[in-house]
A and B are shown apart, each in its own frame.
Chain A
Amino acid sequence: MLIALGVCAVVAVVLAWEVIASSLKPALAHWQLRLASGWGEDVAAYDPGRERRAEHRARELLRSCVDEEDWEMYRDLGFLRVWGSDGSGTGAGHGVAPYAYLIYPHKPIVAYVPRSSRLLSEYCVDFPDTERPFGSVRLPPSDDVLAKWMALTADERRLIENANLHLAGRQLDPDAVRSDIAALSRWEHERRRRRDAASLRAT
């Protein structure tokens, strides 16, 4: 009887160890990786205040470069829309271009058809600063948006050729993007309504 109980106890201990070890393994691996990559240096280099100030500067620069409407779009919705120019012959048309892009910070650029909200593709593009001035190659989020906006409005083909093309949905949830397109449509409708009301009051 005692032997049987002893065996049961040993089996229980072994099983419990297996369960605990399997849950501890990823955490151990993570800590080993952090230690190997100089965790202490990362902590010293990362300054959330600096990143916040950098993003504040980047937002001001973006605001000073884009149209007021585009700035408000980014401020309110978190992304910019740029009309496509290739093939339309209309340049940055006001809703007449056959396709447009959504620019998100540090996410792929999404091409879509405004009339149908059909998603076309994702263009993955980065602007890595290899000098790593503060240990990172990544621009502040709003600088990333401005860099994409400048490159797209200046030379759409050049930027697209430098990007990695993927089918829509590879990184960004298509439903979330469609929801953003719908939000943009509502935002523009509301903006037009307010503008019309203001001009009516003025007359």
Chain B
Amino acid sequence: MRLLRMKPGHGEVLIAEGDVEVAEQELALIEAFRAQLDQGMWAAVPVVAADGRRQAELVRDFDEVPRDAERVIFFPRAAGGR
């Protein structure tokens, strides 16, 4: 699983990468996940819906991330624009 974060002036940045089946790596992923949420990021997981179309799921806790997810994408939380 890879944790990616969108950044201005850069595009996505790799925050962390690891295998959720390896306890040590899973802990590192959870720590990095929480750090991003603490910084005010939203976390989304790209998934394929039952009808075959792609969509995303917003997750608030690492437990909500599907175990087989390849990526979690962090992006700044939405704010009302002008």
Q: Which residues of A contact B (CB under 8 A)?
A: 47, 50-51, 53-58, 61, 64-67, 70, 91-92, 108, 124-140, 143, 146-147, 149-151, 153-155, 158-159, 162-164
Contacts and interface: CB of A to CB of B under 8 A. Distances in A.
Nearest to A134: B9
B81 A164 contact: yes
A143 B55 contact: no
A169 to B, nearest CB: 15
Interface in B40-82: 40, 42, 44, 46, 49, 51, 53-58, 73, 75-82
Contact of A151 (B7, B40, B78): B78
Q: Binding site of B, secondary structure by majority: helix, strand, loop or mixed?
A: strand
Given A67-B54, A151-B42, 10 more contacts: A67-B53, A124-B81, A126-B81, A128-B76, A129-B7, A132-B8, A154-B55, A154-B56, A158-B58, A162-B79
Contact of A134 (B6, B10, B54, B79): B10
Nearest to A160: B78
A154 B78 contact: no
B22 to A, nearest CB: 25
B9 A50 contact: yes
Contacts of A47: 9
Contacts of A150: 44, 46, 56, 58, 73, 75
Contact of B11 (A57, A66, A131, A136): A57
B78 A126 contact: yes
Contacts of A135: 9
A65 B77 CA distance: 19
Contact of B82 (A51, A61, A131, A164): A164
Contacts of A53: 11
